[in-house]
Chains A and B, each alone.
Chain A
Amino acid sequence: MNNEAFNNRDVSDSYFLVDIEDYPTEPWDKFKRVIKRTFRIELFVGLWVVIREMFKFDLHTVSYPEEKMPIGPRYRAIHEMKRLWESDTERCIGCGLCEKICISNCIKIDTRIDENSRKEVSDYSINLGRCIFCGYCAEVCPELAITHGGRYENASDQREHFLMYEDMLTPLDKMTAGTQVEFEGFGAITPHEDERVKKTPLAY
């Protein structure tokens, strides 16, 4: 579908007025309308519709805590910290872009230099009470480290609810089982990225 259908605000040719009869004013016309409505079997059509649905027994209830609707892979719920597939180490390089871009200031990141003179995340927390789940952190992350996940049951009895780095990080046993799931939403690589990538022009 092209955008033409959405951008066309001139609806004059596709809209039409519903044909509504004038309300009767004369007593005789009112009487005729009553008779017409009485002996057209509209009420029984309604009865038929509901009894048909009852015998079809096509119930649409999802009894929520026991069964859940599948949610889309792009759904933006509680954050996750991914690991590298090759070495199982953390993807996060501590660049701090997510903290910078966060529009509700809910991410706090602290880094230090470890024994091997490499930058290491020493403290990372997300205040879920402030987070509006906009997805900017996942979009800005150059390493696809912080992403959103599918956990949406985050009701809490307090306003501030901090999500710590260790809780977000994919557990190691999940990595060894190979069941880490890549996030397909904001910041993810589009499916045909390999064909679309171009060489950097060097002729500047």
Chain B
Amino acid sequence: MEVAYLIETIIKVVVVLLIFSALAGIGTYFERKVLAFMQRRLGPMNVGPYGMLQFGADAIKLFTKEDIIPSNVVAPIFKIAPVITAATAFMAAAAIPFLPEFTIFGYTVHPIVSDINIGILYILGVMGVGLYGPLLGGMASANKFSLLSAARAAAVFISYEVVTGLSILAPIMMVGSLSLIDFNDYQLENGWMIFNMYGVGFVAFILFWIAGFAETGRTPFHLIANDHEIIDGFGTEYSGMRWGLFFIGEYANMFFISFVIPLLFLGGYGDGSFLGAMALLGKMSFFFFFFLWTRAAWPDVRPDQLMWLCWKVLMPIAVLNILIAAIVMI
């Protein structure tokens, strides 16, 4: 029993790692294509049919590029920072049920590495640790732009983390559990979270979604690595696979947030049938697409605007939301 559990867990970890590392790469292809089509361009076209092997070419480039450690950087921290980003992104995946449980060859598979009872807390916590990657990498880089980026990362980190935590409180009060599987089962009985509780769930959904953009550092809140202001921010001094790890971490984070939002608010995989699993993947795809969509459509905000938004607008709304949820529940 113990050995079987161990083997099963290791297999699951490897599968999640491989699939999402590959998805992170393929995600870049989709991002480039979608952005190109929205801007009336072709996007990558030359490597493979319709440029589909572009991801492979990029991977070869990243793996074989020289790994430069500049002379003035704080080398140990500089080297560990990208690993933090990528590792925490994948660690967060441990508590996400990617599919409903299914039976294969008479063996029931739970497509979740570990159904711990503090699931959502664990996910948000580990994803929060992920921002130490840009923070430490930026501060250790001995580069002014990286330092600016690190300062912004700290500001963003403090601002959005408050909103994420508070916005998720009201749904947690309703469900009474932190496990994402319990969230799913609750929504199976009571309908989707966003339609629950006279709009409380909907407000929480919007707040969490906005905070998700800050969490993954995507376009309206892409200020820690804004190309036109601070070059590549924390990534300026990085090259080769260390930069690639930042990249994989960012895209894996996007995928995981895209899984978490439907699981928390949009019914997840429903009753666990094949259709429900496909619905979860469909919802995930929509949220991933939305990340790309906004990148084509929306401008970036300044750091002070982001802090204004998080502290003066979203946080009061989140607190009010919790209050209303408490009153309704009584």
Contacts and interface: CB of A to CB of B under 8 A. Distances in A.
Interface stretch (A3-11, A47-55, A190-198): A47-55
Most buried by A among B34, B41, B297: B297
Contacts of A63: 42, 45
B313 interface: yes
A25 interface: no
Interface string A108-122: 000000000000000
Nearest to B299: A46
A58 B297 contact: no
Interface string A13-49: 0000000000000000000001000000001001101
B239 to A, nearest CB: 28
B41 A54 contact: no
Contacts of A49: 297
B37 interface: yes
Contacts of A58: 40
A34 B39 CA distance: 30
B297 A60 contact: no
Contacts of B294: 47
Interface in B1-53: 34, 37-42, 45
27 contacts: A34-B313, A43-B297, A43-B298, A46-B297, A46-B298, A47-B293, A47-B297, A47-B298, A49-B297, A50-B38, A50-B293, A50-B296, A50-B297, A51-B293, A53-B37, A53-B38, A53-B39, A54-B34, A54-B38, A57-B37, A58-B40, A59-B37, A59-B40, A59-B41, A59-B42, A61-B41, A63-B45
Most buried by A among B34, B38, B41, B298: B38
Interface string A50-94: 110110011111010000000000000000000000000000000
Interface string B38-81: 11111001000000000000000000000000000000000000
Top 5 nearest A-B pairs by Cβ distance? A46-B297, A50-B38, A61-B42, A50-B296, A50-B297
Contacts of B297: 43, 46-47, 49-50
If over half of A's interface residues share one DSSP class (helix, strand or loop), that class is named, otherwise mixed; here it is helix
Nearest to B35: A50
Contacts of A59: 37, 40-42
Interface in A90-138: none
Nearest to A34: B313
Contacts of A34: 313
Contacts of A46: 297-298
Contacts of A60: 40-41
A53 B313 contact: no
Nearest to B220: A43
Contacts of B34: 54
A196 B200 CA distance: 83
Interface string B148-182: 00000000000000000000000000000000000
A58 B37 CA distance: 8
B125 to A, nearest CB: 30
Interface string B281-304: 000000000000110111000000
A61 B36 CA distance: 10
Nearest to A60: B40
A60 B37 CA distance: 10
B214 to A, nearest CB: 16
B137 to A, nearest CB: 31
Contacts of A53: 37-40
A59 B40 CA distance: 4
B225 to A, nearest CB: 22
Contacts of A47: 293-294, 297-298
A101 B292 CA distance: 57
A61 B46 CA distance: 13
Most buried by B among A47, A54, A57, A59: A54
